[in-house]
């Protein structure tokens, strides 16, 4: 600290603590009419206590906020074992999703390349309702004929001379 008009550090601190309880007036006046709005009597001690109390309370409030809320997870370097496991799991899932995306893109490009080289012969005939119903009828008749043939085949493979178990001799 610099000497002020021949006064040393010791003298400044001695005067500060000597006059710590001397009262000071804090007055707030209206600039327009000069009316006094607020009048507070302060001492250096009360101002020091006010600021120190404010600092301690704000420190406690911030500490409680970080200890009992999820904000602590946003602090850089704060990790728990569970959060580390989650990060590793998410990174694996992300890598597998990226691999899947690359493979899907490759498959899509190959499919498009194949489709570009092959010319498709499109069916330009339009079916009428009569053609569709006649096709359905022929399909139904074909199914019935196959069922009849299957029944005949089963009947022909069965033994002809059946022995009746209930018959007595």
Task: Report how far apart, in Å, the C-alpha atoms of 80 and of each of 67, 76, 139 are.
Answer: 14, 12, 69
Is residue 167 pLDDT above 80, yes or no? no
Under a CB-based contact definition with an 8 Å cutoff, are residues 39 and 30 in contact? no
Under a CB-based contact definition with an 8 Å cutoff, are residues 86 and 73 in contact? no
CA proximity to 21, closest of 53, 40, 46, 52? 46
Taking the alpha carbons of 136, 139, 141, 144 in that order, is the dihedral positive or negative?
A: negative
Confidence at residue 135, expressed as pLDDT on a 0 to 100 scale: 85
Top-confidence residue, 148 or 15: 148
CA proximity to 83, closest of 70, 96, 69, 97? 70
Confidence at residue 161, expressed as pLDDT on a 0 to 100 scale: 56
Is residue 3 pLDDT above 60, yes or no? no
Ranges of each domain in the chain? 9-69, 79-118
CA proximity to 24, closest of 45, 53, 49? 45
Confidence at residue 160, expressed as pLDDT on a 0 to 100 scale: 57
pLDDT tens for residues 98-125? 999 999 989 998 888 888 776 656 666 7
Element (H, E) at 105: helix 81-117
pLDDT tens for residues 22-80? 888 989 999 889 899 999 999 989 999 999 999 999 999 999 998 898 888 788 877 77
- Angstrom distance (rounded) from CA 37 to CA 40: 10
CA proximity to 112, closest of 101, 104, 123, 124? 104
> Distance between alpha carbon 50 and the CA centroid of its chain, in Å?
44
Taking the alpha carbons of 19, 21, 25, 26 in that order, is the dihedral positive or negative?
A: positive
Confidence at residue 2, expressed as pLDDT on a 0 to 100 scale: 52
Lowest mean pLDDT among 7-16, 42-51, 125-134: 7-16
pLDDT band at 96 (very low <50, low <70, confident <90, very high): very high
Is residue 165 pLDDT above 80, yes or no? no
């Amino acid at each position: 600290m610099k000497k002020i008009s021949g006064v040393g550090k010791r003298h400044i601190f001695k005067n500060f603590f000597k006059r710590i309880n001397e009262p000071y007036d804090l007055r707030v006046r209206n600039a327009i009419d000069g009316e006094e709005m607020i009048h507070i009597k302060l001492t250096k001690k009360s101002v020091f206590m006010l600021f120190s109390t404010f600092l301690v309370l704000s420190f406690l409030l911030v500490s409680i906020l970080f200890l009992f809320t999820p904000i602590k997870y946003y602090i850089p370097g704060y990790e728990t074992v569970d959060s580390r496991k989650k990060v590793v799991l998410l990174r694996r899932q992300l890598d597998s999703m990226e691999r899947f995306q690359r493979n899907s893109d490759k498959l899509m490009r190959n499919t498009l390349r194949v489709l570009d080289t092959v010319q498709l012969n499109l069916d330009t005939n339009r079916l009428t309702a009569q053609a569709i119903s006649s096709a359905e009828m022929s399909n139904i008749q074909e199914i019935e004929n196959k069922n009849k043939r299957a029944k005949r085949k089963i009947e022909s493979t069965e033994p002809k001379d059946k022995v009746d178990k209930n018959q007595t001799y």
